[in-house]
A = this chain, B = another copy of it.
Amino acid sequence: MSTGVNLKELAAELKLSPSTVSRALNDSYEISEETKKKVVSMAEKLNYQPNPFARSLRENKSKTIAVIMPERMSSFFSKVIDGIEEVTHQHGYHLLIYSTHEDVEREKKIVNLLMNGRADAIVMSVSSQTSDISHLARLHERGFPLIFFDRICESIPTTKFITNDYESAYDGTKHLIQQGCRKIGFLMLSKELSITRERYRGYLDALKAAGLAPTPSLQLTCAHEEEKNIEAIRDLLLSEDRPDGLVSSVEKLALATYHAVKKTDIKIPEDLKIISFFSNLSIAGLLTPSLTTITQPAFNIGEECAKLLIKKLTKPRQPDLPNQVISIPSKITIRASTLVEY
């Protein structure tokens, strides 16, 4: 656990003062090129590594960004984080990553833990239980850099990155209608979520545009436990007024639907067509039948979040993060699960 040499020892070795060595390593104009060379080479020789905490304490920044997401076992969130890491890593930033497991109490706890400056910024997607957002509002009011993606808080005036939820859901629903569906259901997580609201709007408007009346019994709000979701979907599929098409607003509910279908005689796409927001493309093609997907630009969303934050954190006098919603379009890939039978 012996941390190597520190600045003072390095300075002693060079017969220079710590301040000079510090400046030399930070490439200050006050130091001659000659001594810079000497200092740098000696630092490498002794493998000097500056203590990050001393530096953070002094500079009041941590070179660390926190990411808070509702669940880890999700290709979407994994890809977003890959995108974030791609750009933050290039700038020497580290990533603290937290999963709330869709638990708002845990989310609050994490946010409170981060209020002491351990991270320079937070980029997050709220839990499905989050309706009271006071913990997030407080964070933002303190001037703490906060960015949302996907599951956003509209009421907090900062930058949010989403996909074109409304249009994608609209187009996806329209696609089902064009494929002959007339009784189209909608699968969602909590109605509190920004994404379900927007996607639901798109779904409803597409129905309306086609002159179809929405049926409340076909709209299913699911919970966290996979088994229960499968049962609920199965019940829906076996109900009297069962759907001939489904729009799933999240990946996990599409998978739950496939599980539910397996337990019945229902055939996709003959009896039921389904389209879903879905990020795991490799899996989508392997399902039977392959799944028509609305693919969010997950990696790209992560990159954009990180780019904005890096700009805010590294440039000298940056304004606050602008209060705007930036939408990066999804892409619909039509596969067998919505193709009409011949």
Contact indicator per residue, chain A 42-67, by CB within 8 Å of chain B (1) or not (0): 00000001111110110010101000
> What are the residues of chain B within 8 A of A170 when measuring CB–CB?
none
Contact indicator per residue, chain A 112-130, by CB within 8 Å of chain B (1) or not (0): 0101111000000000000
The answer to whether the Cβ of A91 comes within 8 Å of any Cβ in the partner chain is no
Q: CB distance B117 to A53 under 8 Å?
A: yes
For A, the interface residue count at a CB cutoff of 8 angstroms equals 50
The answer to whether the Cβ of A324 comes within 8 Å of any Cβ in the partner chain is no
Q: CB distance B286 to A117 under 8 Å?
A: no
- Which one of B53, B73, B113, B145 lies within 8 Å of A78 (CB-CB)? B73
Docked complex Cα distance between A99 and B88 (Å): 12
Closest to A63 in B: B118
The answer to whether the Cβ of A199 comes within 8 Å of any Cβ in the partner chain is no
Closest to A54 in B: B57
Docked complex Cα distance between A142 and B98 (Å): 29
12 of the cross-chain contacts (CB-CB < 8 Å) are A2-B143, A50-B116, A51-B116, A72-B78, A82-B99, A94-B113, A95-B98, A96-B97, A226-B282, A262-B286, A286-B287, A288-B288
Residues of A within 8 A of B (CB): 1-4, 49-54, 56-57, 60, 62, 64, 72-73, 75, 78-79, 81-82, 85, 92, 94-99, 113, 115-118, 142-145, 226, 255, 258-259, 262, 282-283, 285-288
